Structure 1
Amino acid sequence: MVSYRQTEDLSASAEITYLNMRSYYEHYSVDWDCSKIEDQIHNLTNFDILLNGEVVGAIRLAFDNVGCYVRDLQVSEKYQNKGIGALALSECERLAIESGANRLRLRVFKVSPAFHLYERVGFVVDNVDDRFYSISRTIS
């Protein structure tokens, strides 16, 4: 069973992101490590994704006058392609609606297979740069 809770250990959460994103950082020659990730996520709304009580991923959200920005949605490699990311995205939407937001936004590396999940659930490309697709979806 998939569930969510406020992140209890930002360092462990940053490690999930680093392990998942390391190949993208290397691909684009981005110099990141766990301490930099932890610094970046400290002021975000952070949730652990749990599968049967075990932390298997992370959700990080930021809210502004445009809506809810999904700063990070990570599922540990061992648990990918099992529907957990799609469920977590639904949880992001629920949290965004609960906060009064009517739009979800995020950026995804162009080389990330997660882009196909976002496309499948209705996100559209708003902007493209050399590394990222900036995408969004209206929610209600």
Structure 2
Amino acid sequence: MKYEWREATDRDLEFARDLTRRNMLRYYIEHDLLWQDQAFDVGWKGRENRLIMQGDRRVGYVSLSRDARALYIREIQVVEAFRGQGAGSWAIDQVFAMACRERRPALRLTVFENNPARALYERKGLQVAGKDECFFRMQRDVNGPAL
């Protein structure tokens, strides 16, 4: 399936918030964390957000931030009906290519320790670099081995 990027706008905030809540609420409950719409909205406004599109359908989104050490995937969410069809893998490839173009040392993300998406991240070359409470910090160095 062919995917494309589109810059997200404020009109996409509700889609992204609802998708993230649907996909992640069970992890918040399992780890006794509190989901807060307002916290999501604040994060959204301070990041670069891109929609994963298939034609005119929003199939997911990626939320990014940067510093001198890395390009960070803060959120990567895919609509359930499109999981397992390559959208997440495609998006990670796009973000890694951005990190390379921007000459960032690494691509980083954080994932709940019991989230099966960790297997995808590992297939994409991200490795566990540390653990915080219920999260794994994962990283792929830009100058690391090619996949």
TM range (shorter): over 0.9
The root-mean-square deviation of aligned C-alpha atoms, in Å, is 1.3
Counterpart position of 2:141: 138
Give the drift of 1:129: 2.6
Query: Which segments of structure 1 move beyond 3 Å, counting only runs of 4 or more?
Result: none
Give the drift of 1:51: 1.5
Q: Which of 121, 126, 147 is matched with 1:123 structurally?
A: 126
Counterpart position of 2:39: 36
> Secondary structure of the residue that 1:23 maps to in structure 2?
helix
Asked if the contact 2:92/2:124 (under 8 Å) is kept, the reply is: no
Amino acid at match of 1:42: K
Alignment of 1:1-140 (within 5 A): 1-8=2-9, 9-140=12-143
Give the drift of 1:100: 2.5
Give the drift of 1:33: 3.4
Number of residues of Structure 1 aligned to a counterpart in Structure 2: 140
Give the drift of 1:36: 2.4
Query: In terms of mean alpha carbon deviation, does 7-16 or 127-136 score higher?
Result: 7-16
Amino acid at match of 1:69: Y
> Secondary structure of the residue that 1:117 maps to in structure 2?
helix
TM-score (norm 1): 0.93
What are structure 2's unaligned runs of at least 5 residues? Answer: none
What are structure 1's unaligned runs of at least 5 residues? Answer: none
> Secondary structure of the residue that 2:33 maps to in structure 1?
coil
Q: Distance in 1 between matches of 2:26 and 2:135?
A: 15
TM-score (norm 2): 0.89
> Secondary structure of the residue that 1:29 maps to in structure 2?
coil
Q: Percent identity?
A: 29
